[in-house]
Every structure is written in C-alpha cells, then in structure tokens.
Amino acid sequence: MTEPTAVTSPGAIPPAASEPASSASKSGFRAMWENWTSRVFTMREDRFFLFLAVLIGILSGLAVVCFRIAIEWTQIELLGSSLSPTFPRVVLAPTLAGIAVALLVIYAFPRARGSGVNQTKSAVYVSNGYIPFNTVVGKFITCALAIGSGQSLGPEDPSLQMGAGIASLIGRRLRLSQEKVRLIAPVGAAAGLAAAFNAPISAVLFVLEEVIGTWSAGVLGAIVLAAISSVVTMRAFLGPESMFRVPPFRVAKPADLLAYVALGIVGGLASLVFLKWLAYARPRIQSLPRWTQHFQPAVAGLLIGIIGIRLPQVMGAGYPIIDQAMHGQFTWKLLLVLAALKILATGFSFLSGTPGGMFAPSLFIGAMLGGAVGAIEQHFFPALPGTVGTFALVGMGTFFAGFLRVPITSVFMVIEVSGNYTAILPVMISSLIAYGISRSYIKVPLFDLLARQDGLVLPSVEEQREQMILTVEDAMRVDAAMVLERAEKAADAIKKLEGKEGLLSFLRVRPGEWNFIEHSELQRLAADTSQSRTVEEASSKGPLPFVFRDMSLEEALHWAGDWPALPVLSRADLSKLEGVVTLDDILKAFRKVPVA
C-alpha cells in the first residue's frame, strides 16, 4: 500500500471539524497544540492506534501502581504489617470485608464480579469492546478490599480488566471505528497485565492466547507497545526488580531433567484436581438463591480466616510466601499442606464471586508443589542440581500451564518473574507435561469452561489450534490442466485434448500471467480452414489470479468464485503450473473436514 499523506486517503481518520489554523492570530501554545493535534489526527489510523497504545499503556501502568499500593495499604490496615496477623484480625478482616465486597458488587459494581479475564474477552466478542468505566472503578475498590483483607486471590486478572476498561473508555471517547474499539480493549488488557506482573512478554502472549483468541498481526504492535509502556511506568514507581529472586543453576546432565518430569506429572495432576473442583462446584454455588450472594464472600472470608489462624500463609496473593518457599524456608510437608490449603482457599474465594484473580494463587500453588517435589527429590538424590527454589520456580510455571492452559505464556512468565533464564528447559518440559495431563482429562480450558457455565461461547485458541487448516494442496488437482503456449496452433491444442475429458486449458502469456481458454474457443479457431490460427488469437479469460499450494484454502476461496479455475504455480518459477483448483474443488475439500 502506498503511504498516504493526504487526509482523504483510504483508512485515514478525517481531521476533526476545527477551524483552519491561523497561527498569527492565536497564542503560541494554542498554535502549537493545534499543529500537533492536526498532525496526530491526520496520521493513518493504524499509526494513531499505536500512539493511543502508548497512552493507554502509561495510564494502565499508573492505574496498576495505584492498585497495588491500595492492596498493600489495605492489607496493612486490616491485617497488620506482620506476616502472621493476630487472632481477631485474621478472622474478622476477611469476613467483614467480604460483606462489604458483596454489597459493593451487588449494588454498585455488578460487572466487577469474577477474575476479569472472561469479562474482558466477552467485552471484545460480545459488546464490541465496551467495558464501562464503572467496572474499572469497581474492580479497583472491591479487589483492593478483598485481596487486602486476605481473600485468596491475586491482582493480575483485575489489572488486566482495568487496563481494558481504560482503553475502552479512551477508544469510545475518541470515537474510534467499531473495529478499533473492539481491538483496543485487549491492548489495555495487555498493558494492565504487564504492569501487574512486571512481565511484558507474558502479558502479550496471554492476551493473544486467551483474550483475543487469535494471533492477529494487526493488533500485535499496539499490544506490545502498550505492554512496554505500562511496565516502564510501573517500574518508574515501584522499581525494576524481578518479582522473585532465585540463584542461577545449571542442568548438568540430561538425566537431571527427569526430576522435572516428575514435577510436571505432579503439577498436571494438581491442576486437574483444582479444575475439576471449580468445574463441579461453581454451577452449584451459582444455583443457590440470589440472597446468598450477600454472604458468600463473607463465608469464604471466614473459612479462609479460620485456615489463617494456623497457616496465615494462604491468605492474600501470597507473593512473600512464594519468595520464602523459593529460599527453602519450608519443609516439604508444610509446602504440600500449603498447596492443598491454597487450592481450598482460592476455591472458596473464587466460587463466592469475590472479585480477584487466579494468577497469583495458581503461582502460589505451583511454587509450593514445586518446592515440595524438589525437597523430596533432593532428599533421595542429593546430587540433583538446583535448589528447592529452582523447583518452586519451575513448579509455578508448571501449575500455571496446567491450570490456565497457556503453556507458552507460562514458560515466558517464569523467566520474566524471576529474571532467570537458566530455568527455561526444565520449565518447558514440566509445563508441557502438566498441560498434556490437564488437557487429556478436561477438554475445555478454565476460562472457556467458566464462560460456558455463564452461557457465553467465546473463541478459544486451544480449539483453534486443534482445527485443521486446509491449504490449496488439499484441494488442487495435479493432472487436470493443459498448458498452452502463445504460438501454439489451435489445431494442435485440440489434438492434445482428444480423449482427455475435463482437462482445463491455460495459456502461459508470461511468467506469472496466465489466462484461461474455453475448449469451444479452441475448437472455433481449429475449425478455421487455414489451420494456422494460434491459441494467442483465442478469446481468453485472464490474467488469472494465481495461488500457491501452501496458501490457505480460505484465501483461494476469495478468488475462486470469479474465475473458472485458478492456476497453482510454483513459488520458485511462476511459469510452472503445479496444478489447478476450482470452486468445486475447494468446496469438496471443505466438506471432507469434520465440523469441530
């Protein structure tokens, strides 16, 4: 596409109706402002979109900074500054905060319920990217209260939704096209998640895998930009440090990786247990009378508080506890107990509809399981490389991959949250095993499952991955065409066609330029008494759009309806015909594939 410079170029945003600039009569600032806005608005929409992505990234980053501070502040005020809150607080804080959260969610911010991932995804696919700003405010307040009071939830998914909400508001206020408003919400989502996790790559991958549900190149640049700007903003206020600090280690022998295979199996089974429990209990909790919603978060808070009397580690997001586990501060027995109780506590919080995310708890559970497996393995095999911390780190990625079914995100997440590249091989192995186990027994990923329970059918990358992508090769016929040269006699061509029913004739004009000739036309020329008429004189259809055998069949379908047949050419030599494909061939190929 040529670079449009004019305002009227296709795809460009028309300038807003403003007075023509007359700099001389205006103040310097106004002239500068108008000059700048004029430049911004006369950008091509995709460039303007990138500019907005940066703006959204910064705003989301700021929102997340405030959100994280709000959570910590609430926690200090409600539970005290110690890791082990005193007895009355540990039970009262989550219970009373649960009542407040329930009232806020029911009467003021009904869309703030849940984690935020599915809500954002449904905003993209159901409400054209519309997320009311009220939801952002609600999410901020209710999550800060819930997580700060000790509910076993995390701040990442809500940050994702807050980012999406901010982006949606900006998109609407700037009256972007409907398509862009739909796309801008994931941009904000990536920014929010990146800032919450201090992990831009994982945020981008997660949004592409889970929220958009497709690897769309059109929005990738904006998502990356937004994620980077939000992380830079967040780091400016909260520091650049990685979330966890684990000493580097080295896998000395390939056999050492077997230790992580065991971790993958344990992580996969644990994620299955958690998923099964949520899948089983959620519809039952949801079917309870509506008035019980007033008390569900409080009951969850009470139960968590009771657990917290003995084991306060399970309360809240639990990042300091993960850090302690990574430094081998717990015995393997305690690690196992903490993992089990965290599954229980997170289930209580999530099922009660308390706003908050599942990322932090799943990292917590994974770290505890990893640490336990590592400690047990190192007890029996003291020569194993790495520390309990290494296993805890890998365990985080493992459980994350099994539970949320985002294996690529989980690998990058582990690297980003620890700043430790040495764990990549173990985390890849164990994550894939956990992912495989989880997928084998529960076909639908967590967020899709929750959406379906809520009556929404949202696109899933996992399902898309399983869909067979048809290419031209699946439909083309190899021996169904005859190539004619321009100087070739029509009579000779007819002779060649004798006895070959259904053969299609293509005239090679020059490399990359092919025409289609009907048999009747060839016969008309061949009937000429002079017998010297060439095929070039025939009336042909073309130049034909050509396709390659590796192109998707959907692409070929765009052209096939307008032409009798499409030549399939070699990518290395556009004068070489490899086959032919018609609309019928394409439809037949599609019919062969079973519908998902």
State the residues that interact with another protein by CB under 8 A.
Answer: 10-11, 13-14, 16-18, 33-34, 37, 40-41, 45, 55, 58-59, 62-63, 65-66, 69, 72-73, 76, 81-84, 127-128, 130, 132, 170-178, 180-181, 237-239, 241, 245-248, 320, 323-324, 326-329, 387-389
**Shortest Cβ distance from residue 205 to another protein (Å)?**
26
Q: Which residue, 84 or 292, is less far from another protein as judged by CB? A: 84
Q: Which residue, 79 or 451, is less far from another protein as judged by CB? A: 79
Residue located via tokens 């028309």: 14
* CB-neighbour burial class of residue 187 (10 A; exposed 0-12, middle 13-18, buried 19+): buried
Note whether 192 and 161 are within 8 A (CB): yes
Q: Which residue, 1 or 595, is less far from another protein as judged by CB? A: 1
**Shortest Cβ distance from residue 97 to another protein (Å)?**
20
Element at 591 (helix H, strand E): helix 583-592
**Shortest Cβ distance from residue 300 to another protein (Å)?**
24
**Shortest Cβ distance from residue 254 to another protein (Å)?**
24
| Nearest C-alpha neighbor of 459 from the set 118, 99, 80, 7 | 118
Residue 112 in tokens: 């703030």
Q: Which residue, 133 or 590, is less far from another protein as judged by CB? A: 133
* Amino acid in position 134: N
Q: Which residue, 63 or 97, is less far from another protein as judged by CB? A: 63
In DSSP notation, 70-132 reads HHHHHHHHHH-SSSS--HHHHHHHHHHHHHHHHHIIIII-GGG-S-SHHHHHHHHHTSTT---
Q: Which residue, 68 or 282, is less far from another protein as judged by CB? A: 68
Q: Which residue, 328 or 564, is less far from another protein as judged by CB? A: 328
**Shortest Cβ distance from residue 184 to another protein (Å)?**
11
**Shortest Cβ distance from residue 313 to another protein (Å)?**
11
**Shortest Cβ distance from residue 173 to another protein (Å)?**
5
Q: Give the other-Cβ count within 10 Å of 455's Cβ.
A: 6
**Shortest Cβ distance from residue 130 to another protein (Å)?**
5
* Amino acid in position 267: G
Q: Which residue, 69 or 108, is less far from another protein as judged by CB? A: 69
Q: How many helices (H) and strands (E) does the chain have?
A: 23, 6
Q: Which residue, 335 or 507, is less far from another protein as judged by CB? A: 335
Q: Which residue, 177 or 464, is less far from another protein as judged by CB? A: 177
Q: Which residue, 178 or 532, is less far from another protein as judged by CB? A: 178
**Shortest Cβ distance from residue 132 to another protein (Å)?**
7
**Shortest Cβ distance from residue 267 to another protein (Å)?**
21
Please give the distance of CA 294 from its chain centroid, rounded to a whole number.
33
The 3-class SS string of 409-424 reads: HHHHHHHHHHCCHHHH
**Shortest Cβ distance from residue 13 to another protein (Å)?**
6
User: In a 3-state reduction of DSSP, which class is residue 176?
Assistant: coil
Q: Give me the helices (H) in 327-358, please.
A: 332-351
| Nearest C-alpha neighbor of 356 from the set 588, 164, 145 | 145
Residue located via tokens 């650049």: 240
Note whether 360 and 148 are within 8 A (CB): no
| Nearest C-alpha neighbor of 193 from the set 348, 406, 367, 371 | 406
**Shortest Cβ distance from residue 431 to another protein (Å)?**
23
Close Cβ partners of 333 (under 8 Å, ≥ 6 residues apart):
372
**Shortest Cβ distance from residue 486 to another protein (Å)?**
41
Q: Which residue, 84 or 216, is less far from another protein as judged by CB? A: 84
User: In a 3-state reduction of DSSP, which class is residue 483?
Assistant: strand
**Shortest Cβ distance from residue 207 to another protein (Å)?**
21
Q: What is the distance between the alpha carbons of residues 102 and 302, in angstroms, rounded to a whole number?
A: 14
Close Cβ partners of 470 (under 8 Å, ≥ 6 residues apart):
552, 553, 554, 589, 590, 593
Q: What is the distance between the alpha carbons of residues 550 and 428, in angstroms, rounded to a whole number?
A: 30
Residue 534: strand pairing partners: 489
Q: Which residue, 43 or 103, is less far from another protein as judged by CB? A: 43
**Shortest Cβ distance from residue 385 to another protein (Å)?**
13
| Nearest C-alpha neighbor of 494 from the set 523, 454, 453 | 523
Q: Are strands 577-581 and 566-569 parallel, antiparallel or unpaired?
A: antiparallel
Q: Which residue, 328 or 436, is less far from another protein as judged by CB? A: 328
Element at 567 (helix H, strand E): strand 566-569
Q: Which residue, 58 or 449, is less far from another protein as judged by CB? A: 58
Close Cβ partners of 157 (under 8 Å, ≥ 6 residues apart):
115, 116, 117, 193, 356, 357, 358, 359
